[in-house]
Amino acid sequence: MSGHISFFESVSNYVDNAARYTDLPNGLLEQIKACNLVLRIRFPVRIGNDYEVIEAYRVQHSHHRLPTKGGIRYAESVDQDEVMALAALMSYKCALVDVPFGGAKGGIKINPARFTVEQLQSITRRYTTELIKKNFIGPGIDVPAPDYGTGPREMAWILDTYQAFRHGEIDSIGCVTGKPITQNGIRGRNEATGRGVFYGIRECMSHEEDMKKIGLTKGIEGKTMVVQGLGNVGSNTALISQREGGVKIIGVSEREGSIYDANGIDVEKLLLYRMEKGTIIGYPGSKHIGDPKAALEIECDILVPAALENQITVENAPRIKAKIIAEAANGPITADADPILLKNGSMILPDFYINAGGVTVSYFEWLKNLSHHRFGRLENRFQSQAFSNILKKVEDMTGKTISDRERYLLTRGGTEIELVNSGLEDTMITAYQQVRDTMLMNSKIPDVRTAAFVCALNKIASDYISMGIFP
């Protein structure tokens, strides 16, 4: 919660602000902003010899495209307002990256660390049953995915429960994404959000004139990064930025505190260290600099808050010294802190753009599930043979031969992970270019977040208009 306004109100305020740069009629804007369906559930779960009443939600924000889509989070912070805000962000996110879904989100108000695996399984299965009862889940209705506190394991439980009730439904495997590979998941989904964060930052930093304005040189290589939260999104952003982008990770924070090393922290080794010791504190060469929020104030080129919402507030915003803030988490900057950061010269890459990699690859997984075959299975061998024939012709014409290794590289088809990553890369680059073009076309648009909302609003509005609902 930021000051007096809730998370959902703050998302709505951003939308109102962006709407000033569009010519959408007020009624249409109100429809776009409204949450269409809110399901609040209470159910009992047996814990030891007693029962605990669990509070849970599923919100479908917008039905302008179907199915609706969005993660399920397990966290004590979950309440109706948070789930509504996150569902709304999903609608804008899907529109921005041209993923043909409406936005949704789910949440169970629990701290998963308090429960055994068996208890988590029964909570997940009961929640899924409630969604089935209310027609809030299905490959053409509403498709959940992982979020904070959930992962492939929970998605496998959801699938199994759904299939038990919908036996024989041919597309049932598309009722949830982010599943384990062995359970009809897709390669690359687990790291997709972090990988998308990397592609988005890299694309943004490739524009020399934009970087000059914030005092940076062009290109991601050699730049310094600080990451808050080493979960799915944070650890993959850090690992991929380090390995593929040549970024130096100088600060990391987790629940137990923040660490700093000006010489760079090897994230792979840090993750192993945390697995062994249960903490990042004491990692060789690093300095313990304070609580989990301390890392946010480290002077760096790129700050990646990848834990939870409301981490940068009016209280700590004046002390943030990052040139680029990539909102890998949803809502890590409160609405009242945002102008402080912009005034201090930071560039903010908004959550619903920069963390869109997860839903993008979820879309690929859903497509794979509905088509009932692995990408490349039909065409790879055919294409490979066609490329071989061309190579043979070239060899005959030139009298030269190429090595077996070169032949293999030139003729093989793409593997699933290569196709997924290239689709993700293309999606993140294309969306950034659309946002940047929007800013270039209207110099009054003040920042990237507003421009991204303008793009998303125009796309959702054009769906409603083409449906004939609004003139």
Backbone φ, ψ for residue 30 (5° rounding): -60, -40
The maximal CA–CA distance of the chain, rounded, in angstroms, is 81
Do the Cβ atoms of 325 and 346 come closer than 8 Å? yes
- Sole binder of ligand NAD in the list 94, 176, 329, 448 (CB under 6 A): 329
One residue of 67, 144, 149, 174 binding ligand NAD per CB under 6 A: 149
**What is the distance between the alpha carbons of residues 248 and 267, in angstroms, rounded to a whole number?**
10
Residue number closest to ligand NAD, CB atom: 231
Q: By CB under 6 A, name the one of 6, 12, 60, 330 that touches ligand NAD.
A: 330
60 Cβ partners below 8 Å, 6+ apart? 35, 36, 37, 68, 87, 102, 103, 104, 136, 142
The whole-angstrom separation of Cα 257 and Cα 267 is 16
Beta 224-228 vs 248-254: how paired, if at all?
parallel
Q: For the CB of residue 160, give the shortest distance to ligand NAD in the complex, in Å.
A: 21
Cis peptide before 25 (omega within 30 of 0): no
Rounded to a whole number of angstroms, the minimum distance from the CB of residue 110 to ligand NAD is 13
**257: contact with ligand NAD by CB under 6 A:** no
For ligand NAD, the binding residue among 193, 241, 346, 421 (CB under 6 A) is 193
Give the shortest CB-311-to-ligand NAD separation in angstroms: 7
Binding window for ligand NAD (CB under 6 A); candidates: 28-36, 202-210, 323-331, 441-449: 323-331
Q: What does 313-341 look like in DSSP terms, one character per residue?
A: -TTTGGG--EEEEE--SSS-B-TTTHHHH
Element (H, E) at 301: strand 300-305
Stretch that binds ligand NAD, among 24-32, 223-231, 383-391, 460-468 (CB under 6 A): 223-231
Decide: helix, strand or coil at residue 29.
helix
Rg (CA), the chain: 23
Calculate the alpha carbon distances from 137 to 161, 177, 318 in Å: 11, 12, 43
Question: Is residue 91 within the footprint of ligand NAD (CB under 6 A)?
Answer: no
Other C-beta atoms closer than 10 Å to the C-beta of 284 total 10
Contact with ligand NAD (CB under 6 A): which of 219, 264, 292, 376? 292
Q: Tell me: does residue 310 bind ligand NAD (CB under 6 A).
A: no
Confirm or reject binding of residue 290 to ligand NAD (CB under 6 A).
no
Residue in 124, 177, 355, 434 binding ligand NAD, rule: CB under 6 A: 355
Q: Which is nearer to ligand NAD, 229 or 245 (CB)?
A: 229
Residue 158 C-beta: closest distance to ligand NAD, Å: 15
Question: Residue 249's beta-bridge partner residues?
Answer: 225
Window of 141-149, 212-220, 373-381, 450-458 that interacts with ligand NAD by CB under 6 A: 141-149
Classify the C-alpha dihedral 273-274-276-277 as positive or negative.
positive
Report the residue number, 335 or 461, with the smaller CB distance to ligand NAD.
335
93 catalytic residue (yes or no): no
Minimum CB separation of residue 284 from ligand NAD in Å reads 21
Q: List the catalytic residue out of 93, 105, 248, 293.
A: 105
Find the shortest distance in angstroms from Cβ 252 to ligand NAD. Answer: 9
Return the active site residues. 105
Residues near ligand NAD (CB under 6 A): 71, 146-149, 193, 228-234, 253-255, 292, 306-308, 328-330, 355, 358
